Amino acid sequence: MADNTEDLTYHVHRPVLDYGTFATKYRETFRRKRSLLEVARDEAKQQCGGCTGRHWVSRLLNLVPIAEPTCSPTLWRGSLPACFHIPQGLAYGLLASLKPINGLYTSLFPVFIFGIFGRSRHLSIGTFSLMALLLSDMIEANYEAYIRRMPGNFSAPMNYTGAEYAKLQTAVVGTFAASALILTVGILRLGFFMRYMSDAMLKGFTAAAAVQVVVSQLPLLLGIQPERSNSHFRIVASLINQFKVIKSTNFVTLGISIGSIIILYLVKEFVNPRVKKKIRVPLPIELIMIVISLLVSKFAKFNEKLQVAIVGEVPRGLPSPLVPDFGFLPAMLPAAIPVGLVGGVVTMSLAKMYCLEFQYSYDFNEDFAILGVSSLVSSFFQCFFACGALARNSVVV
């Protein structure tokens, strides 16, 4: 029979039925079109029917992942990237053409919201150099337009000059627009595209971001002030501008930078593996280095005697709420779109990279929405757009 497979045939005998006969014969009932109110009522019954108190507690805990028992071991690890927020917030606030205190605010409000409601086990959002550069471009290109729409007798609040207040309003309005975009992506469940990003693409994206970070940090490491570049080939143009002023390198700043890098590398590669075997947690060398450098800089008067750049005076306390000028929102929408998209993709790329590495499920739509909400709410507290950062996340893992 196996040799005569060509002669085999397959016959299907099936009665021909119209829809009415089929429904009558197989007892199918015709469903009338339900109203929106009936759909909502039936869905509520399905979701709430038979719910016990324990079930509701479980649902509430699901809304706040930080309350889950599995999150308790990560609280200590969360304190490690927190050490990065202070110096990064101060530096990236300046890099974004704002005051250093705005970077600290960004390291507090959105981080607090995302830390409570965020789903990823490894994401640490906050300030990021690439995002600060994008925001700086957005601010420098639009703040003069905001100055022109200010009344002639305008008095800037909160000890800001007119230009500083215009830059701050440009930043918070752009942040509001970018956050609303990311929130919409999460609500409409458009985060599915992250599932189609290959591992090679993720690594290439993060590697390119790392190159951008290194280039943006070189002036701070060398203590130089190169001319700002608006070229499309920014990395190359930035390197050229940096080499033009390489003769003005502050060698004390360079020595502090190299010494800090060497110490951080040695502790992370050789000391922490041995420490973790005994106390199960790494040595917080980042925090130790920050405290030591602050004390040495203060008492040795590096700024006065050796011209080492310092942040300067930082206001105390929490900021007063600042309502974004929504009349300026339409003008900021085109510039805010790349800020939101780049910030969202960078953050979710890191989230996907770590969920693949540690093999746990992850809903990108939920964190897109939470990322949008965290920066949207924070825009009322003088914060700019927050996203994931390579350095902080590498400390978490």
Torsion over CA: 56, 58, 59, 60 (sign): positive
In this structure, what are the phi and psi dihedrals at residue 249, rounded to the nearest 5 degrees? -60, 135
In single-letter form, the type of residue at position 374 comes to S
Cα–Cα distance for residue pair 199/196, rounded to 1 Å: 9
In single-letter form, the type of residue at position 86 comes to I
Structure tokens at 141: 């290109």
Domain boundaries of the chain, sorted by first residue: 76-250+309-396
In the numeric block, the tokens 């050229």 are attached to: 240
**Contacts of range 222-229, beta carbons closer than 8 Å, 24 or more positions apart:** 222/246, 222/249, 222/250, 222/253, 222/254, 222/257, 223/248, 223/249, 223/250, 223/252, 223/253, 223/254, 223/307, 223/308, 223/309, 224/248, 224/249, 224/250
Cα–Cα distance for residue pair 343/363, rounded to 1 Å: 17
Position 331 scores a pLDDT of: 92
Judge whether 392 and 84 are in contact, CB under 8 Å.
yes
What digits encode the pLDDT tens for the residues 158-181? 678 888 999 999 999 999 999 999
Cα–Cα distance for residue pair 83/396, rounded to 1 Å: 11
Which alpha helices (H) appear in the chain, and where do they start and end? 19-25, 36-48, 53-63, 74-95, 100-106, 109-117, 129-149, 162-187, 199-222, 234-244, 251-266, 272-279, 285-299, 302-306, 329-358, 364-378, 390-396
Structure tokens at 281: 């947690």
Dmax over CA atoms of the chain, in Å, equals: 99
**Environment class of 271 (CB within 10 Å of its CB; exposed 0-12, middle 13-18, buried 19+):** middle
**Environment class of 131 (CB within 10 Å of its CB; exposed 0-12, middle 13-18, buried 19+):** buried
What digits encode the pLDDT tens for the residues 79-113? 666 777 888 888 889 889 899 899 999 999 999 99
Q: Is 120 left (phi over 0), alpha (psi -120 to 50) or beta?
A: beta
Query: Which regions in the chain score pLDDT beneath 50?
Result: 1, 30
What digits encode the pLDDT tens for the residues 18-74? 766 776 676 555 455 566 677 667 666 665 655 555 655 665 656 666 666 555 555
How far lies 359's CA from each of 77, 351, 354, 356, 393, in Å?
Answer: 19, 12, 8, 5, 17
Helix, coil or strand: residue 387: strand
In single-letter form, the type of residue at position 187 comes to I
Judge whether 100 and 93 are in contact, CB under 8 Å.
yes
Judge whether 381 and 319 are in contact, CB under 8 Å.
yes
Which of 128, 124, 126 shows the shortest CA–CA distance to 74?
124
Cα–Cα distance for residue pair 338/188, rounded to 1 Å: 19
Torsion over CA: 114, 117, 120, 121 (sign): positive
